[in-house]
C-alpha cells in the first residue's frame, strides 16, 4: 500500500481496527478526514481522547457517565425504589428514549454465558445485590431475549426472590406492527403463552 502516503496508510490501518469498519469504509473515511477543515478533525480527535479519559461508571447503577453519579441516579423525579436491570448502557438508552420509564437502572455490563465463559462474578451482580439492601419495591429484569439474557434473568430472579422483593421480567411476544406471517415460531409460542385477558 505504499502508493498512498504513509500518513494515510497509518490512518486507514487505525480505522480498520474499529468494529464494523472494513477496508473500503476505512479508506473512504480516511480520505474524508484529510479533506475536512483542520479544526473539525481536531474536535473529532479530541472528543475521542476526552471521552476515553473522562467517562467512568456511575457509582450507583454502573452506567457510563462523566460524574460520580449519572443524571438518572442523581434525579429527584425518578423512582429510586424501582430498578430496571439491563445488559448495557445502550439498552438503558433504548428505554430512556421511550420517555415513559420513571424508575432507575442497573447496568450489568454483560450477561451470563457459560459458552463464552462469562459467569455471575463477571457482571455487575454483586453491586446489584448491594443496592437491594436499601428500600427497593421492584426489580424489573430487562436483559435481552436471548439465551444469555434469559439465563441471566433466571439467575437474578432466583438470587433476589428469597429477599421478598418483587422481581419481574419484561414481556416477550410479537413486536408492535409485526406481521405474524414473518415472526419466528419461538416468538409466536412465547406470545401465545404470555397471552393476557381482554
Q: Which is nearer to its own copies, 39 or 185 (CB)?
A: 39
Shortest distance in whole angstroms from residue 20 CB to its own copies: 6
Shortest distance in whole angstroms from residue 132 CB to its own copies: 23
Q: In what order do the strands lie in the sheet with 138-141?
A: 103-107, 79-86, 138-141, 166-169
Shortest distance in whole angstroms from residue 105 CB to its own copies: 9
Main-chain phi, psi angles of 103, to 5 degrees: -80, -165
CA-to-CA distance for 161 and 169, rounded, in angstroms? 13
Shortest distance in whole angstroms from residue 101 CB to its own copies: 10
Shortest distance in whole angstroms from residue 128 CB to its own copies: 19
Residue numbers at the binding site for its own copies (CB under 8 A): 1-8, 10-11, 14-15, 17-21, 25, 27-34, 36, 38, 40-55, 64-67, 70-72, 88-90, 92-93, 96
Q: Which is nearer to its own copies, 55 or 189 (CB)?
A: 55
Give me 44's grid cell: 473529532
- Pick from 169, 157, 89, 92: nearest CA to 128: 157
Q: Which is nearer to its own copies, 7 or 137 (CB)?
A: 7
- What is the three-class DSSP state of 57? strand
Q: Which is nearer to its own copies, 17 or 198 (CB)?
A: 17
- Pick from 198, 173, 177, 176: nearest CA to 187: 173
* Burial class of residue 45 in the structure, from the number of CB atoms within 10 Å of its CB (0-12 exposed, 13-18 middle, 19+ buried): exposed
Q: Which is nearer to its own copies, 29 or 191 (CB)?
A: 29
Amino acid at each position: 500500500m505504499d502508493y498512498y502516503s504513509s500518513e494515510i496508510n497509518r490512518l486507514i490501518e487505525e480505522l480498520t481496527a474499529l468494529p464494523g469498519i472494513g477496508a473500503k469504509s476505512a479508506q473512504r473515511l480516511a480520505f474524508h478526514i484529510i479533506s475536512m477543515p483542520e479544526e473539525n478533525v481536531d474536535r473529532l480527535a479530541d472528543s475521542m481522547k476526552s471521552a476515553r479519559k473522562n467517562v467512568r461508571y456511575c457509582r450507583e447503577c454502573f452506567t457510563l457517565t462523566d460524574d460520580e453519579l449519572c443524571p438518572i441516579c442523581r434525579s429527584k423525579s425518578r423512582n429510586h425504589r424501582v430498578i430496571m436491570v439491563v445488559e448495557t448502557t445502550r439498552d438503558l438508552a433504548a428505554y430512556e428514549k421511550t420517555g415513559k420509564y420513571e424508575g432507575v437502572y442497573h447496568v450489568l455490563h454483560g450477561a451470563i454465558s457459560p459458552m463464552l465463559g462469562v459467569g455471575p462474578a463477571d457482571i455487575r451482580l454483586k453491586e446489584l445485590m448491594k443496592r437491594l439492601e436499601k428500600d427497593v419495591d421492584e426489580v424489573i429484569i430487562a436483559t435481552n431475549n436471548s439465551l444469555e439474557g434469559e439465563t441471566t434473568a433466571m439467575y437474578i430472579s432466583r438470587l433476589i426472590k428469597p429477599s421478598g422483593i418483587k422481581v419481574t421480567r419484561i414481556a416477550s411476544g410479537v413486536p408492535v406492527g409485526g406481521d405474524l406471517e414473518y415472526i419466528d415460531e419461538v416468538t409466536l409460542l412465547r406470545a401465545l403463552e404470555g397471552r393476557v385477558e381482554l
